[in-house]
Amino acid sequence: MGISIELEVNGAGVSKEVEPRLLLAHLLREELGLTGTKIGCDTSQCGSCTILLDGQAVKSCTVLAVQADGSEVTTIEGLANGEYHPMQQAFWDNHGLQCGFCTPGMIISCVDLLNSNPQPSEDEIRHGLEGNLCRCTGYHNIVRAVQAAAETMNG
Amino acid sequence: MAGESNGAGVFGSSIRRREDPELITGQAKYTDDLQLSGMVYCTILRSDYAHAKINGVDASEAEALDGVIAVYTAKDIEASGVPGGIPVGWLLPDMKIPEHYMLAKDTTRYVGDGVAIVVAEDQYTAHDALDLIYVDYDPRDGVADPKKATEDGAPLVHDEAPNNIAFDWEIGDKEQTDAAFANAAHVASLDIVNNRLIPNAMEPRAALADYNSITGELTLYMTTQNPHIHRLLMSLASLGLPEHKIRVIAPEVGGGFGSKIHHYADEAIAAWASMQVGRPVKWTATRTETYLTDAHGRDHVTHGELAMDADGRFIGLRVDTYAAMGAYLSTFAPAVPTYLYGTLMSGEYDLPAIHCHVYGVFTHTVPVDAYRGAGRPEATFIVERLVDEAARVSGIDPAEIRRRNFVSPDAFPYQTQVALEYDSGNYEGALDKALEAIGYDDFRKEQAAAREEGKFLGIGLSTYIEACGLAPSAVVGSLGAQAGQWESAVVRVHATGKVTVYSGCSGHGQGHETTFAQIVASALGVPYEDIDVIEGDSGVMPHGWGTYGSRSAATGGSAIASAAEKVVDKARTIAAHLLEAAEEDLAFEDGNFFVKGSPDQAQSLPDVALQAYLAHNLPKGIEPALEATSFYDPANFVFPFGTHVAVVEICASTGQVDLKRYLAVDDVGNVINPMIVDGQVHGGIAQGVGQSLYETAVYDDGANLLSGTMLDYAVPKAHFLPSFETDRTVTPCPHNPLGVKGVGEAGTIASPAAVVNAVVDALSPFGVNHIDMPVTSEKVWNAMN
């Protein structure tokens, strides 16, 4: 019993017939092959599945695919535009990742954070990332990465 | 970035990780990202009861659901003829080893114990079907506390283990230690609970199994820290397939912290299911499932005492511990509270008498096994808390009492009373550096002034030692390991001088592709970019023992260095032949062989490699090609150490602990990549701070896991933590070719004691001498009031 949806994912049009209960995270991963978006929990705590939905960071495990009908989605695969997004570059330069599993969602959240607050303090960065868990870095270098990206993007 | 292309100078430089471009763009493939043609999905029904008899399982409704291919129970696994066992890989004398089968046969022993398997065409259906399986349970009483579990009348996890005791283990000299206490001027004494933790690697465990019934070959992609161990144990114990017919591949792995070492039932179940249905089968744990199945960590109940003479010198330490094993003995579980725990009880101190006694205890809980630090955080917590308590009862400053009792720098190698021989150290050097950086003397003044204003500041030291890179194999074997602890490496120089390195380690975030290439670039003098590192595929590289226990640099890195040295030796022989010179007259610098004093007439390593492959003009007796394999068995453990310092402020009205500063001075021997080492320290500290302030797995009296989701278990968030201050001293390891120690666990081992010592220091005006972890506001407030 599918429902037809149309959306734009990373700049390309997508038309799909989906189960009403299909999560956006599963649409991206299982049906569109965009496995950069990760699923790390089942209670919307970890933030590994964070994507941009019409420019806003959302947890795609908490959005039904049908709710994204008519929307624009940007995943980690769509963030680079010929060259790395400054946030991706900053994560690389500052060792802001280790195992990399939280990284796609973390980078998307950090992009969203700077979109709403281009020059955050360390405290604002840390609170701004409360929806994303990382178990490897202790967040130390993630904070450095966001600070570096802010400098690049404001410079 | 500096140093990204040089050969010799690349060891020791902070090169950005070559792993990262795939990770920051979402291109890296983790197990659950993989799809195979014809793939189906598997889910596992788990017991809702900590302890229950299974009277029967009715799967008829599930089997009738559209899209369900099959539902299996333990009976089906038994009927298939596979051994079906989940093994324990570390044997202690007189240890009870109850049967652990791939699914519960007639009794469930923890919430999460597997009862039935669903295989379905899609994952939603596979999950739906779980709700249509009806299990007739007869619930029994359960027990979760490891000390209470040993009391008479406690519910038994296994009938063959009276009082739930799996093993009764001790180390050290009891008589000598008791005598020391009889002569003590002061005794510090504490009762300590080391809280149970859930690992929480961000990537849940997963497996994708592809069994080929024509060839009899199983390809198993899985979240593993050690593909060869999984292959070996699946061959011997669970699946019974010939070892050479199993290929275990670790794709990108999203963290482990120990939780992906062990042989669980689940990955074997996916493989077995693929053998039954003849199609690739994927199983991916939900986060809740990881909470109910990933081996937990810690969970000790301990009484510890430290005896001193009148000058505050330590004369004896004795420790009694009840260590939870959970419902079954997990892969390396028996080693964790014994040889990775009791052996660390000397800390950094010259302690003449030690005795440590441990009961390993079955409880109706998720099995407990190695989690980052594994035994060493528990030991360090006991020792460093007792040292602070010793300072309190003797009236000696905590820094001074440590200094007074350190093993001195000229005493190495130092033989402890609990088996280990420390390789090298300068404990006072790290302490001095830390005290200066934190401003220890000024802090005490600031603390006194703050107290006048009703503000409670505290400082805590943790002068830790850790033993990592378990070795040599003969010794760990004599202690009960059913595994070797050497490591393998292949260094293959291709005809064009490019290099492929194969390691038996299996990284999952540590950056081996970068650091191992740095080792080889320095050893061979070839550009870093010309070296690739491959890990994590039992079908590709020689047997290896994987990545855990901070062993990869010390054992895997040393194996690579050793293989590279063999390559250079062979290349030198060929170069001497080509240069018509004697080998001993040749120099080797920056990848070039030349007669000493004549660097303009050189044979580069690529020149030699080409000649080695062409084999037109090789010295007599030299085989073609240019590669070497090493199986490196270390001479000893390595012993990183250091001083960590925590500074806290406690809110007088709420009891909330604010971690204001955290400073770490670590000595991990020579450093391959400082940026990566710092990153390991950061992450380790975060997990240790997590244990001390936030995290705990909570079971109720009926052994139900109350902290069963990420909503209920406090994995630290960014704003729970400060930025960390890190520094180092460097005392090289004297017994491995790189002089490296290990860094993966140092932060987790050191930090709980530093934080709790700081909290207790802050609360000293209230007469508080201990608070169990996690140090929540509620506990602190109650202690203050």
3-state secondary structure A84-119: CCHHHHHHHHCCCCCCCCCHHHHHHHHHHHHHHCCC
Confidence of residue A1 (pLDDT cuts 50, 70, 90): low
A60 inside 8 A of chain B by CB: no
**Closest approach of chain B CAs to the CA of A112, in angstroms?**
16
Nearest to B73 by CA among B47, B51, B52: B47
Residues of A in contact with B123 (CB under 8 A): 26, 30
Residues of A in contact with B552 (CB under 8 A): none
Contact of B249 with B227, CB cutoff 8 Å: yes
Whole-angstrom distance, CA of residue B486 vs CA of residue B494: 26
pTM: 0.97
Same domain for A49 and A12: yes
Q: What is the pLDDT of residue A155?
A: 80
Confidence of residue B56 (pLDDT cuts 50, 70, 90): very high
B20 inside 8 A of chain A by CB: yes
The residue ranges of DSSP E strands in chain A, in sequence order, are 3-9, 12-18, 50-53, 56-59, 72-74
Centre a 10 Å sphere on the Cβ of residue A1 and count the other Cβ atoms it contains. Answer: 5
Domain boundaries, chain B: 8-28+486-632, 35-140+205-255+260-284, 300-471+636-784
Same domain for A13 and A68: yes
Put simply, the chain B residues between 237 and 276 with a CB less than 8 A from any chain A CB are 252-255, 257
Rounded mean pLDDT of chain B? 97
Q: What is the pLDDT of residue B8?
A: 62
Whole-angstrom distance, CA of residue B668 vs CA of residue B677: 9
Asked if A38 lies within 8 A of B20 by C-beta distance, the reply is no
Confidence of residue A81 (pLDDT cuts 50, 70, 90): confident
Asked if A36 lies within 8 A of B26 by C-beta distance, the reply is yes
Number of domains in chain A: 2
Contact of B546 with B261, CB cutoff 8 Å: yes
A41 inside 8 A of chain B by CB: yes
Nearest to B300 by CA among B360, B258, B348: B360
B39 inside 8 A of chain A by CB: no
Nearest to B202 among A95, A99, A129 (CB): A99
Same domain for A99 and A59: no
Put simply, the chain B residues between 108 and 127 with a CB less than 8 A from any chain A CB are 123-124
Whole-angstrom distance, CA of residue B246 vs CA of residue B222: 12
Contact of B489 with B512, CB cutoff 8 Å: no
Whole-angstrom distance, CA of residue B643 vs CA of residue B374: 19
Whole-angstrom distance, CA of residue B361 vs CA of residue B368: 10
Same domain for A95 and A62: no
pLDDT (tens digit, 9 = 90+) per residue, B683-739? 999 999 999 999 999 999 999 999 999 999 999 999 999 999 999 999 999 999 999
Whole-angstrom distance, CA of residue B386 vs CA of residue B239: 47
Whole-angstrom distance, CA of residue B230 vs CA of residue B218: 13
Taking each helix axis from N to C end, the angle separating B512-524 and B558-579, rounded to the nearest 10 degrees, works out to 30
Same domain for A113 and A71: no
Asked if B718 lies within 8 A of A43 by C-beta distance, the reply is no
Asked if A98 lies within 8 A of B124 by C-beta distance, the reply is no
Contact of B663 with B102, CB cutoff 8 Å: no
Q: What is the pLDDT of residue A44?
A: 96
Residues 6 or more apart whose Cβ sits within 8 Å of residue B474: none
Amino acid at site B528: Y
Instruction: Tell which of B25, B208, B291 to mutate to test the A interface (max A CBs under 10 Å).
Output: B25
Question: Which chain A residue shows the shortest CA-CA distance from B201?
Answer: A135
Burial-class residue B616 by CB neighbours within 10 Å (0-12, 13-18, 19+). exposed
Put simply, the chain B residues between 577 and 636 with a CB less than 8 A from any chain A CB are none
> Containing domain of residue A146, as a range?
86-154
A104 inside 8 A of chain B by CB: yes
pLDDT (tens digit, 9 = 90+) per residue, B103-142? 999 999 999 999 999 999 999 999 999 999 999 999 999 9
Whole-angstrom distance, CA of residue B172 vs CA of residue B310: 24
- Residue A28 belongs to a domain: yes
A8 inside 8 A of chain B by CB: no
Question: Which chain B residue shows the shortest CA-CA distance from A137?
Answer: B683
Q: What is the ipTM of this complex?
A: 0.99
Asked if A38 lies within 8 A of B30 by C-beta distance, the reply is yes
Asked if A101 lies within 8 A of B287 by C-beta distance, the reply is no
CATH of the domain at A56: 3.10.20.30
**DSSP sequence for B556-568:** IIHHHHHHHHHHH
**Closest approach of chain B CAs to the CA of A118, in angstroms?**
19
In this structure, the dihedral spanned by the alpha carbons of residues B44, B48, B51 and B56, taken in order and rounded to 10 degrees, is -70
Same domain for A49 and A113: no
B300-471+636-784 fold: Aldehyde Oxidoreductase; domain 4 (3.30.365)
Nearest to A141 among B30, B287, B682 (CB): B682
Chosen domain end from A76, A109, A133: A76
Strands lying side by side in the sheet with B592-595: B586-589, B592-595, B602-604
Is the omega angle on the peptide bond into residue B413 within 30 degrees of 0, that is, cis? yes
The pair of structure tokens assigned to B452 is 């006048």
Q: Which CATH class is domain B8-28+486-632?
A: alpha beta
Nearest to A77 among B21, B25, B201 (CB): B25
Whole-angstrom distance, CA of residue B189 vs CA of residue B694: 25
Rounded mean pLDDT of chain A? 97
Is the omega angle on the peptide bond into residue B722 within 30 degrees of 0, that is, cis? no
Handedness of CA B373, B642, A93, B530 (dihedral sign): negative
Whole-angstrom distance, CA of residue B628 vs CA of residue B563: 5
Is the omega angle on the peptide bond into residue B472 within 30 degrees of 0, that is, cis? yes
B666 inside 8 A of chain A by CB: no
pLDDT (tens digit, 9 = 90+) per residue, B204-237? 999 999 999 999 999 999 999 999 999 999 999 9
Asked if A103 lies within 8 A of B23 by C-beta distance, the reply is yes
Same domain for A91 and A63: no
Confidence of residue B201 (pLDDT cuts 50, 70, 90): very high
Centre a 10 Å sphere on the Cβ of residue B428 and count the other Cβ atoms it contains. Answer: 17
Whole-angstrom distance, CA of residue B551 vs CA of residue B562: 16
Asked if A40 lies within 8 A of B723 by C-beta distance, the reply is no
Q: Name the DSSP class of B121.
A: S
Nearest to B547 by CA among B522, B521, B513, B518: B513
User: Residue B2: pLDDT above 70?
Assistant: no
B721 inside 8 A of chain A by CB: yes
The pair of structure tokens assigned to A94 is 């500052």
Question: Which chain B residue shows the shortest CA-CA distance from A102?
Answer: B202
Same domain for A58 and A18: yes
Chosen domain end from A53, A76, A99: A76
pLDDT (tens digit, 9 = 90+) per residue, B26-48? 999 999 999 999 999 999 999 99
A147 inside 8 A of chain B by CB: no
Confidence of residue B3 (pLDDT cuts 50, 70, 90): very low
Whole-angstrom distance, CA of residue A130 vs CA of residue A124: 10
The pair of structure tokens assigned to B425 is 């150290």
CATH of the domain at A110: 1.10.150.120
User: Residue B7: pLDDT above 70?
Assistant: no
The pair of structure tokens assigned to B722 is 């400060």
Q: How is domain B35-140+205-255+260-284 classified at the architecture level of CATH?
A: Alpha-Beta Complex (3.90)
B303 inside 8 A of chain A by CB: no
Percent of chain B beyond pLDDT 90? 99
Chosen domain end from A30, A52, A76: A76
Q: Name the DSSP class of B694.
A: I
In this structure, the dihedral spanned by the alpha carbons of residues B231, B236, B241 and B242, taken in order and rounded to 10 degrees, is 80
- Residue A81 belongs to a domain: no
B677 inside 8 A of chain A by CB: no
Q: What is the pLDDT of residue B245?
A: 98
Asked if B24 lies within 8 A of A100 by C-beta distance, the reply is yes
What's the N-to-C CA distance of chain A in angstroms? 51
For chain B, what's the residue count?
Answer: 785
Percent of chain A beyond pLDDT 70? 99
Residues of B in contact with A140 (CB under 8 A): 679, 682, 686, 721, 723-724
Question: Which chain A residue shows the shortest CA-CA distance from B251?
Answer: A99
Question: Which chain B residue shows the shortest CA-CA distance from A34?
Answer: B26
**DSSP sequence for B622-687:** PPSSEEEEEEE--SS-B--EEEEEEEEEE-TTT--EEEEEEEEEEE-BS-S-HHHHHHHHHHHHHH
Centre a 10 Å sphere on the Cβ of residue B93 and count the other Cβ atoms it contains. Answer: 8
Contact of B342 with B426, CB cutoff 8 Å: no
**Closest approach of chain B CAs to the CA of A48, in angstroms?**
8
Whole-angstrom distance, CA of residue B42 vs CA of residue B121: 9
H/E element holding B387? Answer: helix B376-394
Nearest to B105 by CA among B131, B125, B85: B85
Residues of B in contact with A127 (CB under 8 A): 718-719
Nearest to B439 by CA among B236, B166, B725: B725
Measured in degrees and rounded to the nearest 5, phi and psi for residue A29 equal -75, -50
Q: Name the DSSP class of B225.
A: S
A10 inside 8 A of chain B by CB: no
A21 inside 8 A of chain B by CB: yes
Asked if B254 lies within 8 A of A99 by C-beta distance, the reply is yes
pLDDT (tens digit, 9 = 90+) per residue, B422-479? 999 999 999 999 999 999 999 999 999 999 998 999 999 999 999 999 989 999 999 9
Q: Which residues of B234-273 are buried (b: 16+ CB within 10 A; e: fewer)?
A: bbbbbbebeeebbbbbbbbbbbbbbbbbbbbbbbbbbbbb
Percent of chain B beyond pLDDT 70? 99
Burial-class residue B343 by CB neighbours within 10 Å (0-12, 13-18, 19+). buried
